[in-house]
Amino acid sequence: MSQHDRVTCAYHEAGHAVVAALLPEADPLHKVTIIPRGRALGVTMQLPEADRYSHSKPYLEAQIAILMAGRVAEELFLSQMTSGAANDIERATELARKMVCELGMSPLGPVLFRRPASAWDTDARAAGFSEQVARRVDDEIRALVMRGYETARQIIARERAAVKGLATELLEVESVDADRLKALIAQHVVPATPAITA
Amino acid sequence: MSQHDRVTCAYHEAGHAVVAALLPEADPLHKVTIIPRGRALGVTMQLPEADRYSHSKPYLEAQIAILMAGRVAEELFLSQMTSGAANDIERATELARKMVCELGMSPLGPVLFRRPASAWDTDARAAGFSEQVARRVDDEIRALVMRGYETARQIIARERAAVKGLATELLEVESVDADRLKALIAQHVVPATPAITA
Amino acid sequence: MSQHDRVTCAYHEAGHAVVAALLPEADPLHKVTIIPRGRALGVTMQLPEADRYSHSKPYLEAQIAILMAGRVAEELFLSQMTSGAANDIERATELARKMVCELGMSPLGPVLFRRPASAWDTDARAAGFSEQVARRVDDEIRALVMRGYETARQIIARERAAVKGLATELLEVESVDADRLKALIAQHVVPATPAITA
Amino acid sequence: MSQHDRVTCAYHEAGHAVVAALLPEADPLHKVTIIPRGRALGVTMQLPEADRYSHSKPYLEAQIAILMAGRVAEELFLSQMTSGAANDIERATELARKMVCELGMSPLGPVLFRRPASAWDTDARAAGFSEQVARRVDDEIRALVMRGYETARQIIARERAAVKGLATELLEVESVDADRLKALIAQHVVPATPAITA
Amino acid sequence: MSQHDRVTCAYHEAGHAVVAALLPEADPLHKVTIIPRGRALGVTMQLPEADRYSHSKPYLEAQIAILMAGRVAEELFLSQMTSGAANDIERATELARKMVCELGMSPLGPVLFRRPASAWDTDARAAGFSEQVARRVDDEIRALVMRGYETARQIIARERAAVKGLATELLEVESVDADRLKALIAQHVVPATPAITA
Amino acid sequence: MSQHDRVTCAYHEAGHAVVAALLPEADPLHKVTIIPRGRALGVTMQLPEADRYSHSKPYLEAQIAILMAGRVAEELFLSQMTSGAANDIERATELARKMVCELGMSPLGPVLFRRPASAWDTDARAAGFSEQVARRVDDEIRALVMRGYETARQIIARERAAVKGLATELLEVESVDADRLKALIAQHVVPATPAITA
């Protein structure tokens, strides 16, 4: 891994981690690392406090913002856009699609929107295969992803110190655990936002 | 199951049950429980009085309202929207689709609307694959689901005491049978609506 | 079968039978019964006078009206709309589709309208897969079904006595044969329409 | 076969035969019969004078007019529209589709219009899967079929005597061969159209 | 083969050959024959001077014009349009489609336009499945074919003598080889176009 | 291989190579050859300096410009457009599609745009199957490819000497390695653009 790839990765993961730490609805952080595993350059791991049977709308919105935060950090600190965000984009879009089409969490309401595999199959449990509905579904999905992107952008713009501090430490020690993350963020976080806790 | 998940489940099922109890066309209630079984956190069981050969429009409309009532209760009592309503949304949308496309129970009239698997297959017994018809079908399906949501919202807003009473009892004893349900609802129900019986 | 289901079925079949008896183009009635067989609650049986090699437009229009008459009777006598008409709706829509798309019996003219299984397959013997044609085909199919519904509604509104008489007898004796049907209808039929014969 | 079916068939085949006899581009008539074979009630047989390697536009237009002539005769003589024309409609539409989409015989020009089986397959040798082209193709196909219908209508309206004469003979002797057909038509044909020969 | 079919074929092949001989970008002619082989009534054979690794835009445009020339000759000399051009139409449309969709040889630019087999398949290397793009692609394909038709029409209208001379010789001797073709065309060609060589 | 094909190939590869050498984000050149291998007439090989884990937006834009440069060189030096660019067009379009639909590198934002294989399949992780989104996606893909084409055109128009020098050398020696390429480009490159390095 080139030094440039290491720096990219450190800021990308630091972005994920800081946004995850500062969104109260998100699962708590477990570990952040820039040691490659498999096809991933780095990983930000979260641990749900308890087995969750269902997810709330703010929790899913937080997930989308966390997924967007990797690209946002690359843009704000390194002025770059890379293919490293492809998987984040895929997962964020899928979460947004689920919220709109299956979970009734958009202005379109609690209706299932799914075009059945073979058009109007009798078994298909779905509404929505007119172009008009498809357009509104597309708009809502895109709006949810862009809102998550904006949330991530605002947090990272405000907490530049925390992101930079974590990225610097990652470049030195490669992995940071939950306790050290809490300490780092407590040290750097902008004090004017007391309501947000890790 | 976390305490928060238990509370969510109790209000969700109490919503289903109270709306089912107060809609005269609905099948009578048999049991409500928040003991998880399979992938479901809780269950509201209804028993048809006799084997029904066919279902009336008000019966199907009541079913949609009952399915919507779980989410409505979460919204009104817990100010939350969760993924727990996914299955309710799917079933309500499918009922609405059947009413519009197969049962002639919408302003589109007694016509079968079904796009055949392979476009205009000779065997296909259906009309409706123009974009114009697809849009009207989508509108009617969504209108039926939203009407059921509104029915549930009005009943639960009026009968907050009954829903809260049932949810509280569910959190204590986990299961409530038909007789106790009748008693609970009789105790809490708003007296100004004498025409509605369990 | 509950008493309510029996009444529903009796009026549904009586509707089919009276409209079949009074439309001169229809096949003659053979028997009406409310004894369930298979998934059908009741049956109205017609017998073609001779093996027919081809069907005229008025004959097919009469068939659609007869299929609609079951739901119409439920609406006019019982003020209800049930899922029992699902099969009637499917068959009426298919007859209308055939008339428009295969038999040249609509203002669209003697042209085959069929979207081939795999889009513009070389083997496909069909016109009509533009959205514009699809919309006009949809409109004509719906118009034919609604016309049949209106024909049934007018006959049943005028011949309430005959439908009620037949339904009452069906509830008593469960099956009525051709001769008794003729007698019943002759007894009840409104005299001002001498041109219509069973 | 009922007497009504026999009359229908006689006029239907007489329509085919007279239009075929009077269109100079058509293949010569071989035999007309109302003896049922297979699913066909009657048959009008033509014999190409020589093996043809290719077909001209007027020949194909004549074929469409001949196919339409069965229904036209039923309409003009019996004031009826029956399902007996289904196969004629299918074949006429397919001829028109070939002329427009494969043979460059419409104002759309010598371009192949065929939507490939799997959308834009590399192997697909075709233009035309935009909605705009689909609409124009539909319009041209319908125009060709309707033009054939109009040609048949004009010939049969003018040659009522010939059609009636042939139908009457068919009802008596069931089959008429080429020589007798020529004689019959020569006897009945309106003299003011000397340019048209059998 | 009837005499009419032989004449049709002779002019059809003479059209192909004369346009091929007079378009400088076309492969040189090898042989023209009206001896049927397989399903083809006649053949015009061209021989590339060397194995070509790639084809230029003028070469492909010439191919389309040559393919159109058969029908053009039938129209100008015999005032007829036959099904014999079906294969020419298919091949010309496919060449035009390749030029527009794969070779960047239209105003749409060097972009691949191909609708993937299964919609937006990940593997699909293509743009262009919106209706807007489909319409522009259709327009460009049609424009290329029509331009080839017009090129052929202008050449054949000017070189009537050469086409007639070749067709006459084909009817006498059935096959004409490259040297004789050159001689024939040199003898008949209109002198005012010295820049065009065989 | 004909001399014309050799010249075409030399300029085509020289175009690829010079644009690759002068775009700072591109991978360094390894070798250029006009010795055919497999179906390719010539090859321009680049070597990434290190294994790259991810690609930046400017790197992908450079790739598109390099792919376009072959056709651009043919147009500017030989005034021709050939089918030899088919593979370049396919790869450039696919890169542009990835940037827009998977990597969030267009004004449409960090959203996955992919029409699922079987319409609205539950498993599908994607937005974007309305016509409106399809049109915007098409526009962005085309814009990216055309921008790469314009970049290549500007570089080659300015560096005509370098392209001509390399093509001439390729026609003599058939293969040019990295060092010689650097020397050639240093010798010919227009001095007014010091910021661009090989």
Residue E152 is encoded by which pair of tokens? Answer: 């052929």
Q: Is the ipTM of this complex over 0.90?
A: no
Alpha helices in C23-110 (DSSP H): 57-78, 86-101
pLDDT given for residue A126 in this prediction: 44
pLDDT digits (tens, 9 = 90+) for E3-57: 889 999 999 999 999 999 999 999 999 999 999 887 778 999 998 866 667 899 9
E9 chain-D contacts, CB cut-off 8 A: 53
Has residue E120 got a pLDDT over 50? no
* Cβ burial, residue F129 (10 Å; 0-12/13-18/19+): buried
Per the prediction, chain A carries an average pLDDT of 87
Per-residue pLDDT of chain C (198 residues; tens, 9 = 90+): 788 899 999 999 999 999 999 999 999 999 999 998 877 789 999 988 666 678 999 999 999 999 999 999 999 999 999 999 999 999 999 999 899 989 999 999 999 887 544 333 333 334 446 778 878 888 999 999 999 999 999 999 999 999 999 999 999 999 999 999 999 989 988 776 555 554
pTM of the predicted structure, to 2 decimals = 0.88
Grade residue B115 by pLDDT with cuts at 50, 70 and 90. low
Average pLDDT over residues D52-61: 89
B vs C, Cβ pairs < 8 A, gives 118
Average pLDDT over residues B109-124: 58
Instruction: Return the sign of the alpha-carbon dihedral for residues A140, A144, A146, A147.
Output: positive
By Cβ distance, the residue of F93, F115, F145 closest to E119 is F115
CB-CB under 8 Å, A97 with F119? no
Q: Distance between terminal CA atoms of chain B?
A: 31
pLDDT given for residue A50 in this prediction: 63
* CA A103 – CA A110 distance, rounded (Å): 7
pLDDT given for residue E123 in this prediction: 39
Has residue A128 got a pLDDT over 80? no
CB-CB under 8 Å, D135 with C133? yes
Instruction: Return the sign of the alpha-carbon dihedral for residues C176, C177, C183, C187.
Output: positive
Choose the most confident range, by mean pLDDT, from A19-23, C115-119, E194-198: A19-23
**Comparing A133 with F85, which gets the higher pLDDT?**
F85
CB-CB under 8 Å, F54 with A97? no
Has residue A147 got a pLDDT over 70? yes
pLDDT given for residue A138 in this prediction: 87
pLDDT digits (tens, 9 = 90+) for E129-155: 677 887 888 899 999 999 999 999 999
A121-125, B22-26, D115-119: which has the minimum mean pLDDT? Answer: A121-125
Has residue A176 got a pLDDT over 90? yes
pLDDT given for residue A36 in this prediction: 86
A51 chain-B contacts, CB cut-off 8 A: 1-2
Residue B155 is encoded by which pair of tokens? Answer: 């009943």
Grade residue A127 by pLDDT with cuts at 50, 70 and 90. very low
Q: Which residues of C does the annotation mark as catalytic?
A: 13
pLDDT given for residue F122 in this prediction: 38
Q: Which residues of B does the annotation mark as catalytic?
A: 13
Nearest C-alpha in F relative to E51? F1
Which of E67, E138, E139, E153 should be substituted to probe chain D, the one whose Cβ sees the most D Cβ atoms within 10 Å?
Answer: E138
Binding-site residues on chain A for chain B (CB distance < 8 A): 49-57, 60, 98, 102-105, 108-112, 118-122, 124-133
**Comparing D145 with F193, which gets the higher pLDDT?**
D145
pLDDT digits (tens, 9 = 90+) for F83-106: 999 999 999 999 999 999 999 999
Q: Are strands C29-33 and A29-33 parallel, antiparallel or unpaired?
A: unpaired
Alpha helices in D23-174 (DSSP H): 57-78, 86-101, 131-158, 160-173
pLDDT given for residue D157 in this prediction: 97
B94 chain-C contacts, CB cut-off 8 A: none
CB-CB under 8 Å, E96 with D54? no
Residue C196 is encoded by which pair of tokens? Answer: 């219509």
By Cβ distance, the residue of A104, A124, A133 closest to B138 is A133
pLDDT given for residue B111 in this prediction: 92
**Comparing D192 with E118, which gets the higher pLDDT?**
D192
Task: Looking at the complex, report in whole angstroms how far the Cα of residue E75 sits from the nearest Cα belonging to chain D.
Answer: 11
Which chains have 3+ CB pairs within 8 A of E? D, F
Closest CA to B125 of B117, B137, B116: B116
Average pLDDT over residues F107-134: 63
pLDDT given for residue D40 in this prediction: 79
Locate tokens 């919609």: which residue?
E119
Residue C140 is encoded by which pair of tokens? Answer: 């004509």
* CA E5 – CA D53 distance, rounded (Å): 7
Closest CA to B110 of C67, E158, E108: C67
A111-115, D75-79, D173-177, E63-67: which has the minimum mean pLDDT? Answer: A111-115
Average pLDDT over residues D161-171: 97
Per the prediction, chain E carries an average pLDDT of 87
By Cβ distance, the residue of E89, E115, E126 closest to D102 is E89
